[in-house]
Structure 1
Amino acid sequence: MPRVVSLCLPFLPTDRIRRADASLPVETPIAVIARSGSKRTVVAADHAALKAGVRIGMAASKAQAMIAGLHMVDADPAGDEAAIHKLALWVLRQYTPIVATDLPDGIVLDTEGADHLRGGEALMLSGLVNAFRARGLHARAAIADSWGAAYALARTSARETTIVPIGDTANAVVHLPISSLRLPADIVTGLRVLGFNTVGELSATPRAPLALRFGPEVGRRLDQMLGRLAEPIDPIRSPELVEVTKSFSEPIAAAETIAKYVGRLVVQLCGELEQRGLGVRRADLLIHRVDNTLQAIRAGTAKPVRDIKRLTKLLCDRIEQIDPGFGIEKLSLAATMIEPLEERQAISSLVEDTVADVTPLLDVLGNRGGQRLYRLAPVPSDVPERNVQRIRPAAEEGGASWPTGWPRPTRLFLHPEEIEVIALTPDHPPASITWRGKRRRIKRGDGPERVYGEWWRRDAEMEAVRDYYAIEDEDGQRFWVYRSGDGVDPATGNAKWFLHGIFG
């Protein structure tokens, strides 16, 4: 069943103004003004302006008189539309193959089969909203079985993310206002005059009188919201996108036939990429069915490639996920993420040792689990929880090296756990520790290894100190513990003990 995400950017015009002018104080209210002849009205406002009393449609002169220091900027609809188009292309590369702009304030995504690559729908939505927040953009997202329901919930819910369970769309939209149906303003006004306020009231009314008075639009929007009528998403495309297509005079449905034409499309795509000196990092296969619905398969690679055999295998391994329905009328294969790729001539093994290439295996595993594949890399930092990071399996080395002076535990806790310790201060290792309710007598200890705070990060670490010890209990288990502070000066720490890791 399709799962559609609607992303709403309610403050895009004012967010763009703040991004363009970093010197603008955060507390300064912003209003966007549109001109119609000599008339100037507010068409957008940020949180601060709305809180101060500015309303959409208000005369600009009234808003300016109401709020001292109101920052007023002329509307730029073309700039807003271009920004949404650019953001939609970014979403296309990062999240799902089927993405379209939903003007004037949103983006729509078909995420069927793509959410597992992001850890599920909840993590996918929160990650999407947080990614926009990191770019200085307010966003709300909703996922439902239909475009209409997701659109309405993203614009009426006070929550940043809303998830409608599969098959529960009717219950989720029953209390929504009729203005969320994407109907023309005059139809909404007419329905309100007749006493209709919610989607539930409208859907419980016979269609014939509504169609007679308002035309077929009301029934069409209701059916689209409730998932009774398909609303296909036309995927966004850009001129630089490398794409090849194959249309069929007679619909195809057999898996073997689909695989045959996928292989041919891969050959064409790799030929196009070779002419441009590019390799593909992410390829999307779009399946256009005769019932005007779309399905998609996405294949990613650890490094840019033009390997026909590898790309064909990655795509064909997932053909069983395709539901051809009454038949497929067109296949499209697009390279949605591309990078420069230089051919490297192989050198004889007499001169150079052969290095096994594990990226094909990484590609197969990555397309099954998506974000679960990573490797650990060192970061230049003395603070243990900061000197490691997750990177892509095939990412280049950053140049940092692992600490070699003192041993590090095989398991480092995300958050150090406080323990009770008996020890002679300031420099002796613990004689015993109590961790998770169990007291352990320590037979051996090594340390201290002193770690200083990174004062350039925050003032609180100016004098901070940790003294780390590697200890072993009577059962042979080895732990990595530290004391906060140097044991002498209270300014360096509170002298509490923590267990930070366990040796294998």
Structure 2
Amino acid sequence: MARILSVWCPNWPITTWRRRNPGYDGSGEAPGPLRAFGAPPPEGKDRRTPSSPSGGGGCVASGGGKLAPPFALLVSEHGTRRLAAVDETARALALSPGQKAADAMALVPNLVTFDHDPAADRAALEALCDWCVRFSPAVAIDGDDGLFLDITGADHLWGGEDQMLVDLVARLARWGVPARAAIADTAGAAWALARYGDDLSIAPPGQQRAAIEDLPVAALRLEDAAEAQLPRLGLHRVGQLLALPRAQLAKRFGLATTLRLDQALGMAAEALTFRRPATPWFDRLAFFEPISAPEDLARVAGDALALICQRLEAQGRGAKRFEVVFHRLDGKAYPVRAGLARLGRDARRLAKLIVPKLDKVDPGFGIEVVTVHAWAVEPLAAAQERLDADADATLDETLAPLVDRLVNRLGENRVWRADPFESHVPERSVVRNAPLDPPVVARWDPDRPRPVRLFKRPEAITAIAKLPDDPPMQFTWRGRAHRVRRAEGPERIGQEWWRAGVGETDTGPDRIRDYYRVEDDAGGRFWIYRQGLFGEDETPKWWIHGLFG
């Protein structure tokens, strides 16, 4: 059974605006850059005191302790200025989102307003989503002011679900982000408890029905029409809906209503779009005191890798990609990645790939958490030395550490192996594969030798040759003349009609080519071809495509 943690940040636009403007004192000016999660307020500025989790953004106090005037964010809709969000002071004065700005100013003349920036709110929510990776590798954005975390199997890292919940909400509150959170088996039940249940609610496994039946029907995320109609009929609680016959409920209020009920109870699946691919191969190290020394970072990276490798070995699995993420006190995360050419789970070998990249990690005021992820996990049998071991396999195992170091230093796309591909067109007869991938079945035709060095693009040359099919007697390439001493050919290569339109260029296989293997008087061997046929509208052109030595 999955366990989902729902996080709700009430009045998110006001909260993010205050975080972007930490020095605002009610004067009408909005100075200051956006602070990262966990960053302390600027020196000389008063720290805001967050309100209760249900309140929203908290009150703003100026230097003398006087409350700032009511505050709202404005948005333009069809030429009309309206309130997009209001703080708790303005809400206490009967102002609400959606109200016309002119009416609000008439009711509250000292109302301070600024323009709403939805893009900034979204960026801040994405930053919060990335920050929550320290609690779970699977985090999804929920609407405009919430998150879903799949914490299945991860709560033991905090000593239980209750301690995880308290730690998450307490950290956000310290950073000026009031939040409510709840845990349940389903996203629907967790969403309902976070917004309408007791703060920090936890529904025991399999008990989401009892947890939500006393909540208002709005907790089911119903459509607007159904949510407005149900209270008029005396249906105020979820439990009342559960007592009704499903057929009548669906006929009267639509299938969407019964679907939301089923999703909350776990009787229907609900897909969550996680910001990054979810993986159960995740582990975490937390420290009593932040660390920042390079040797400490290297040591904890090795410890984190040892944790995940022990789990992989216990279940007979290996992985090809590993990621160690260093989480700073201010919420910024620095991922360091390493890839393997073959499945592996050797923590020492992985640490040798990770440690050289730690110079890119800026510890700032200190690293408080390190998380480690494993990707591309597959079954891996235990290695065993044998006297009759296959020579190729032994060679691959010997080369694997070297290939891993080259790939992690130079880049994955810069270390490859050229393998044959079934195509007689030269540009298509070679593919790039990983260095230690299994060998391909295709082979090059030994009766049609190909040059050791094949140019990425053929280069134009001028040549003198007898008509119609004789090889060139002389050609000029890169300003230098070459007199041909020996030649073989032609080898005619035509267009692959079944692949027409796939990657042709002006010098591609869209016309007939006659290839010649030629040797000049200095001993150089070249692969030359004539493009086109004599007697056509255009005069044939000569190109050099590669070198044999």
Q: TM-score by structure 1 length?
A: 0.53
Q: Secondary structure at the match of 2:353?
A: helix
Q: Report what 1:252 is aligned to.
A: 291
Q: Report what 1:476 is aligned to.
A: 523
| Among candidates 338, 341, 353, match of residue 314 of structure 1 | 353
CA contact (8 A) 1:232 1:292 kept: no
Matches within 5 A, 1:168-187: 187=74
CA deviation after TM superposition for structure 1 residue 310, in Å: 0.7
Write the distance in 2 (CA, Å) between the matches of 1:379 and 1:243.
Answer: 39
Write the distance in 2 (CA, Å) between the matches of 1:287 and 1:212.
Answer: 43
CA contact (8 A) 1:470 1:481 kept: yes
Q: Secondary structure at the match of 2:76?
A: helix
Q: Secondary structure at the match of 1:420?
A: strand
CA deviation after TM superposition for structure 1 residue 221, in Å: 8.0
CA deviation after TM superposition for structure 1 residue 287, in Å: 0.8
- Once the two structures are overlaid, the 10-residue window that deviates more, 378-387 or 341-350, is 341-350
CA contact (8 A) 2:73 2:116 kept: no
Max radius of gyration: which structure? 2
Q: Report what 1:168 is aligned to.
A: none
CA deviation after TM superposition for structure 1 residue 274, in Å: 2.3
Q: Secondary structure at the match of 2:496?
A: coil
| Among candidates 358, 361, 376, match of residue 402 of structure 2 | 361
CA deviation after TM superposition for structure 1 residue 301, in Å: 0.9
Matches within 5 A, 1:296-315: 296-315=335-354
Write the distance in 2 (CA, Å) between the matches of 1:480 and 1:465.
Answer: 16
Q: Report what 1:271 is aligned to.
A: 310
Aligned residue type for 1:213 = V
Write the distance in 1 (CA, Å) between the matches of 2:469 and 2:424.
Answer: 20
Deviations 1:134-166 (CA, angstroms, capped at 9, x unpaired): xxxxxxxxxxx9999xxxxxxxxxxxxxxxxxx
Q: Secondary structure at the match of 2:419?
A: strand
Q: Secondary structure at the match of 1:427?
A: coil
Question: Kindly tell me: are residues 186 and 291 of structure 1, through their superposed partners in 2, closer, same or farther at Cα, counting changes over 3 Å?
Answer: closer
Aligned Cα root-mean-square deviation (Å) = 4.1
CA deviation after TM superposition for structure 1 residue 241, in Å: 2.9
Write the distance in 1 (CA, Å) between the matches of 2:373 and 2:493.
Answer: 51
Write the distance in 2 (CA, Å) between the matches of 1:279 and 1:219.
Answer: 46
CA deviation after TM superposition for structure 1 residue 298, in Å: 0.8
Question: Kindly tell me: are residues 212 and 405 of structure 1, through their superposed partners in 2, closer, same or farther at Cα, counting changes over 3 Å?
Answer: farther
Q: Secondary structure at the match of 1:359?
A: helix
Write the distance in 2 (CA, Å) between the matches of 1:498 and 1:291.
Answer: 60
Q: Secondary structure at the match of 1:431?
A: strand
Matches within 5 A, 1:94-493: 187-189=74-76, 213-214=112-113, 233-234=130-131, 235=133, 237=138, 240-348=279-387, 354-355=394-395, 357-370=398-411, 371-458=413-500, 465-485=512-532, 490=536
Aligned residue type for 1:373 = V
CA contact (8 A) 2:461 2:542 kept: yes
Q: Secondary structure at the match of 2:75?
A: helix
Q: Report what 2:548 is aligned to.
A: 503
Write the distance in 2 (CA, Å) between the matches of 1:372 and 1:147.
Answer: 38
Q: Report what 2:92 is aligned to.
A: none
Write the distance in 2 (CA, Å) between the matches of 1:258 and 1:212.
Answer: 50
CA contact (8 A) 2:282 2:372 kept: yes
Write the distance in 2 (CA, Å) between the matches of 1:500 and 1:348.
Answer: 46
For this pair of structures, how many residues does the alignment match?
306
Write the distance in 2 (CA, Å) between the matches of 1:469 and 1:293.
Answer: 60
CA contact (8 A) 1:284 1:333 kept: yes
Question: Kindly tell me: are residues 350 and 312 of structure 1, through their superposed partners in 2, closer, same or farther at Cα, counting changes over 3 Å?
Answer: closer
CA contact (8 A) 2:279 2:375 kept: no
Question: Kindly tell me: are residues 369 and 486 of structure 1, through their superposed partners in 2, closer, same or farther at Cα, counting changes over 3 Å?
Answer: same
Write the distance in 1 (CA, Å) between the matches of 2:532 and 2:279.
Answer: 57
CA deviation after TM superposition for structure 1 residue 434, in Å: 2.7
Q: Secondary structure at the match of 2:498?
A: coil
CA deviation after TM superposition for structure 1 residue 486, in Å: 5.8
Aligned residue type for 1:368 = R
CA deviation after TM superposition for structure 1 residue 392, in Å: 1.4
Question: Kindly tell me: are residues 357 and 472 of structure 1, through their superposed partners in 2, closer, same or farther at Cα, counting changes over 3 Å?
Answer: same
CA contact (8 A) 1:373 1:392 kept: yes
CA deviation after TM superposition for structure 1 residue 311, in Å: 1.2
Question: Kindly tell me: are residues 385 and 453 of structure 1, through their superposed partners in 2, closer, same or farther at Cα, counting changes over 3 Å?
Answer: same
Write the distance in 2 (CA, Å) between the matches of 1:417 and 1:252.
Answer: 57
CA contact (8 A) 2:282 2:371 kept: yes
Question: Kindly tell me: are residues 252 and 337 of structure 1, through their superposed partners in 2, closer, same or farther at Cα, counting changes over 3 Å?
Answer: same
Question: Kindly tell me: are residues 495 and 350 of structure 1, through their superposed partners in 2, closer, same or farther at Cα, counting changes over 3 Å?
Answer: closer
CA contact (8 A) 1:378 1:400 kept: yes
Deviations 1:319-361 (CA, angstroms, capped at 9, x unpaired): 2322211111111011133233223432116996853621111
Question: Kindly tell me: are residues 466 and 282 of structure 1, through their superposed partners in 2, closer, same or farther at Cα, counting changes over 3 Å?
Answer: same
**Percent of pairs with identical residues:** 38
Write the distance in 2 (CA, Å) between the matches of 1:214 and 1:425.
Answer: 85
CA deviation after TM superposition for structure 1 residue 465, in Å: 3.4
CA contact (8 A) 2:75 2:116 kept: no
CA deviation after TM superposition for structure 1 residue 232, in Å: 7.6
Deviations 1:7-57 (CA, angstroms, capped at 9, x unpaired): xxxxxxxxxxxxxxxxxxxxxxxxxxxxxxxxxxxxxxxxxxxxxxxxxxx
Write the distance in 2 (CA, Å) between the matches of 1:278 and 1:469.
Answer: 52
Write the distance in 1 (CA, Å) between the matches of 2:509 and 2:289.
Answer: 73
Write the distance in 1 (CA, Å) between the matches of 2:470 and 2:545.
Answer: 18
Write the distance in 2 (CA, Å) between the matches of 1:348 and 1:373.
Answer: 31
Question: Kindly tell me: are residues 380 and 239 of structure 1, through their superposed partners in 2, closer, same or farther at Cα, counting changes over 3 Å?
Answer: closer
Q: Report what 2:260 is aligned to.
A: none
- Once the two structures are overlaid, the 10-residue window that deviates more, 315-324 or 359-368, is 315-324
Q: Secondary structure at the match of 1:261?
A: helix
CA contact (8 A) 1:146 1:224 kept: no
CA deviation after TM superposition for structure 1 residue 485, in Å: 4.4
Question: Kindly tell me: are residues 351 and 418 of structure 1, through their superposed partners in 2, closer, same or farther at Cα, counting changes over 3 Å?
Answer: closer
- Once the two structures are overlaid, the 10-residue window that deviates more, 246-255 or 410-419, is 410-419
Q: Which runs of 5+ in 1 are unaligned?
A: 1-144, 149-184, 195-210
- Once the two structures are overlaid, the 10-residue window that deviates more, 372-381 or 340-349, is 340-349
Write the distance in 1 (CA, Å) between the matches of 2:527 and 2:401.
Answer: 38
CA contact (8 A) 1:482 1:498 kept: yes
